[in-house]
Amino acid sequence: MSCRGCSLNRLPQVKQFVMDDAPKYDRLEVKFISGAPPELVLLGDGDRELERLPLSQLNREECNELLQERGFTKKPSKSDL
């Protein structure tokens, strides 16, 4: 997932997702790339790009749903261990 820090200030729902929710998912890495819009980049074997999905038009819940639809699962919480 990539995003530009300054654009997140104009997208509070996406910012909440990127800062609070995204780190809770397994196999998901957040990269802040200057000049890039917030998007989910799905990679395959050898880090080959499979799909690029924009997040700008989504709210926090929709961002979470998108990850779950693509097979991402949340890491177990400390209370689950």
Task: Return d(Cα 12, Cα 25) in angstroms, integer.
Answer: 20
Q: What is the pLDDT of residue 9?
A: 79
Q: Is the pLDDT of residue 78 over 90?
A: no
Give DSSP secondary structure letters for 49-61: EEEEEE-TT--HH
What average pLDDT is seen over the chain? 88
Question: Two tokens at 46?
Answer: 């050898």
Q: What is the pLDDT of residue 81?
A: 62
Domain ranges of the chain: 2-80
Whole-model pTM? 0.82
Residue among 31, 39, 42, 33 nearest 72 (CA): 42
Q: What is the pLDDT of residues 36-61, one digit of tens each?
A: 789 999 999 999 999 999 999 999 99
Domain 2-80 grouped into CATH 3.10.20.30:
no
* 34 vs 14, higher pLDDT: 14
Residue appearing with tokens 């729902």: 13
